[in-house]
Structure 1
Amino acid sequence: MKDLIESALPDSCVVTGMGWVTPLGNSVSEVWSDLLKGESGVQEAPSDVPVRSDLAAIVPTVPLNESPHVRQLEITISAVNSALADAGISIDADGVELILGTSYAGNLDDPEVPSLYEWAQQAAERLGFPGAPLCVTTACSAGSDSILMGAELIRSGRRAVCVCVGSDVVTPAKRLGHSLLGTMTDEALRSFDSRHNGMVLGEGAGVIVLESAAHARGRSAPVHAILRGEGSANDAAGMTAPDPSGTSVVLAVERSLAGSGMSADDIAVVSAHGTGTPVNDAVEATSLRKLFGSGEHGPVVYGTKGALGHSLGACGTIEAITLIKALEEGLAPPVQGLETPMDGFPRQLSIGSPSPVPGSSGVSLTLGFGGFNTALLFSRPGGGHE
């Protein structure tokens, strides 16, 4: 890690802190171990309104009888504090920006909350952040887009450190909405399986402390990963349905590779969005085929929503952390619920047990409602392409 910091360009972005709150727990190392073992945080969570399934992935450490707004604040604050402790930096240090991403947060269920910015402002106040935080609300890509925004602020020299947050909670309105949309499964979330028929809602928060290499070097900060590149694109196909051609997803990945000194051949692992809906899984399969081709050589693909649920605006940061862990340990977790891959899936899937990651770089993909597609390209420190 020391060699990396000494050789990295001044505008390079490095990850110096990670923290999360998930249905499987709040320790990054312990939850990662559970994911490798195939554990799941999905459970029966009876709904007060008729929904397609009573399954959900609920954070056990925050009482469900609290309002969605309060629950999201508690989840967010806990995850941010964990990431700051991991990075060894204070939220009120010079050059720090706080960026919070979510979908609808608790606003669909809590009419007393005036705007989607309110939770971000209150979280910043509770954390002791001295400025006005930034808030990103790009549906399911919000967490990933908080990282993308942080990278732009660092590369432009406007900020030295960005605390990038994705946070969301399960609420009755969200459960009812996805039930009526038909995106919710009535069985189990099985990403890329031949029996896939929908997703399970989840909740949580993921936080990545992103820092310029120069700033990290100056304080001798340990580094988890390098953010090599980031890309986004919007397919504008519809409010909820993605463009089946996958063109926008491919463009997002290609933009993440542009300027990184890397090509698709350098990607060893992909954290897929993997909602378990037939439409989304088909779009990702098409996109991965266009990007990486088919056959034995190429990245291993995994997804964690079968274990952690679909946490909407939080999934981008949570899944970025899992990708960094996969690169750190050289293992991709098995896809929960996947037994028989869907016909025509072009890449190797992580099935049954952890799969070796044959390289040092990977991509985390998020595909949001409204066509928001984001790709984040990370490398393991010292893994080449410095």
Structure 2
Amino acid sequence: MAWWTALGSDLDEVWRALLAGATGVAPVASAHPLRNDRAAAVGDLPAELGPEQRQYELAARAVRTAVSDAGLDVTDPRLRLVAGTSHGSHLDVPPDRLDRWGETLAAGLGMARRPLLVSTACSAASDALLVAAALIAEGEEEVCVVGGVDVLTPAKRLGHSALGTMSPTELRAFDERHDGTLLGEGAAFLVLERADRARERGARIRGRLSGTGSANDAAGPTAPDLSGDTVVRAVTAALAAAGRGPGEVGVLNAHGSGTPVNDDVESRGFARVFTDGKAPVVFATKGAFGHTLGATGALEAVAVLLALRDQAVPPVPGLKTALPGFPLPLPGGAAPLPFTGNVGLSITIGFGGFTTCLALEVPA
């Protein structure tokens, strides 16, 4: 697996930065007035790169690194790219086809097969993992490199500023002062294959995607249904697919966008799922990476696997006083919070009602 973020690209260096409470959010110049000029940009990309080139470069770097980490070659004829994005560069540079970016990426990397592309708003990368897992389970694919990428563009920043979803201050997920999100960019990809085949070729196995679940509330184009029903349905489906119960979950990476509506919906949903027994520790990375839209699910899947490996979660940036009644433990302050358990969940909530949950495990 691999990621490219506003905090860097090395898996362990970025993870250590997260555990130390670091954030990649900083002022990013804009030619247009915004509700907030702060965002999380990837610093080692040339500033003059246009949105299309930025999307390509971020994705290409993460795909190459993930495939290499898995002991494979990007030109392996068995390898299928399954990738998600929200709008990518599309709002700023309207394409002739919404999947053109992925075909350009696969061709540029020398991949032998056409990619499969997913665009389900902020759950796109999670849904790409869901799709790839289904294809492998059904015997349609042998090995996939799967994840998501999204880039910071003027149109996205203007859009969230106009919608009022952008925070005028800072992103404070699950804090009683939460007032919106801040955008970021990044990419993350993981190589997914059957466990027996990975063992046969001597691959380093970082974890297991043991279950997936999704739901859509169909409540509106942006705001989710306030009941938390879709969170409950997605989490319940993922746990059922994994053969796990709520009490077996040690850690949960929440969507944690910092918008009052989303944070409240997650809080309600968690309270309905985790009613008895052990309560998982909740963490959120958007205060460090920014809200990376279609890349979010893959970045957070990587973060859950690293948390399970180290049995610790990073502090939630900006969290001082948790929302009244928040039902699960949260790591506030500046120090990591330890936990026990080998089962983790990642939850994404997207515009258009898309909600997806991934169940991830490491050996006990």
TM over 0.5: yes
Partner of 1:204: 186
Partner of 2:305: 324
Please say if 1:123 is aligned against 2:102.
Answer: no
Kindly tell me: are residues 46 and 235 of structure 1, through their superposed partners in 2, closer, same or farther at Cα, counting changes over 3 Å? same
Partner of 1:338: 319
Aligned equivalents of 2:251 and 2:162: distance in 1?
Answer: 34
Please say if 1:58 is aligned against 2:68.
Answer: no
Residue 82 of structure 1 is aligned with which of 65, 75, 88?
65
Partner of 1:369: 351
CA shift, 1:342, in A, is: 1.1
Q: Is the 8 A contact 1:189 1:198 kept in 2?
A: yes
Residue 248 of structure 1 is aligned with which of 224, 230, 236?
230
Residue 70 of structure 1 is aligned with which of 49, 53, 67?
53
Moved over 4 A (4+): none
Deviations, residues 202-224 of structure 1 (Å, cap 9, x unaligned): 00001011111121022011111
Residue 275 of structure 1 is aligned with which of 241, 250, 257?
257
SS in 1 for 2:347: strand
Partner of 1:43: 26
Cα RMSD over matched residues? Answer: 1.1
Unpaired runs of 5+ in structure 1?
A: 1-17
More divergent stretch after superposition (149-158 vs 209-218): 209-218
Partner of 1:98: 81
CA shift, 1:127, in A, is: 1.1
Please say if 1:134 is aligned against 2:79.
Answer: no
Please say if 1:110 is aligned against 2:93.
Answer: yes
Q: Is the 8 A contact 1:361 1:380 kept in 2?
A: yes
CA shift, 1:297, in A, is: 3.5
For normalisation by structure 1, the TM-score amounts to 0.92
Residue 167 of structure 2 is aligned with which of 182, 185, 193?
185
CA shift, 1:97, in A, is: 1.1
Please say if 1:160 is aligned against 2:142.
Answer: yes
CA shift, 1:329, in A, is: 0.6
CA shift, 1:94, in A, is: 4.0
Deviations, residues 308-338 of structure 1 (Å, cap 9, x unaligned): 1000000100011000000011001110010
Aligned equivalents of 2:278 and 2:242: distance in 1?
Answer: 21
Aligned equivalents of 1:88 and 1:246: distance in 2?
Answer: 41
SS in 2 for 1:298: coil
CA shift, 1:256, in A, is: 0.6
For normalisation by structure 2, the TM-score amounts to 0.98
CA shift, 1:357, in A, is: 2.0
Residue 88 of structure 2 aligns to which amino acid in structure 1?
A
CA shift, 1:49, in A, is: 1.1
Residue 185 of structure 1 aligns to which amino acid in structure 2?
S
CA shift, 1:293, in A, is: 2.7
Residue 359 of structure 2 aligns to which amino acid in structure 1?
L
Aligned equivalents of 2:172 and 2:97: distance in 1?
Answer: 34
Aligned equivalents of 1:101 and 1:259: distance in 2?
Answer: 22
SS in 2 for 1:374: strand
Residue 28 of structure 2 aligns to which amino acid in structure 1?
A
CA shift, 1:91, in A, is: 2.4
CA shift, 1:259, in A, is: 3.5
Unpaired runs of 5+ in structure 2?
A: none
Q: Is the 8 A contact 1:107 1:115 kept in 2?
A: no
Identity, in percent, stands at 48
CA shift, 1:264, in A, is: 0.7
Partner of 2:206: 224
SS in 1 for 2:242: coil
Kindly tell me: are residues 214 and 245 of structure 1, through their superposed partners in 2, closer, same or farther at Cα, counting changes over 3 Å? same
Partner of 1:9: none
| Aligned residue pair count | 363
CA shift, 1:92, in A, is: 2.7
Aligned equivalents of 1:327 and 1:217: distance in 2?
Answer: 20
Partner of 2:219: 237
Partner of 1:15: none
CA shift, 1:291, in A, is: 0.7
Aligned equivalents of 2:263 and 2:319: distance in 1?
Answer: 12
Deviations, residues 263-304 of structure 1 (Å, cap 9, x unaligned): 11100100000000000000000011001138x931000000
CA shift, 1:166, in A, is: 0.5
Aligned equivalents of 2:30 and 2:325: distance in 1?
Answer: 36
Residue 377 of structure 1 aligns to which amino acid in structure 2?
A
Deviations, residues 165-207 of structure 1 (Å, cap 9, x unaligned): 2000010000000001000001000000010000000000010
Residue 275 of structure 2 is aligned with which of 282, 293, 296?
293
Q: Is the 8 A contact 1:67 1:110 kept in 2?
A: no
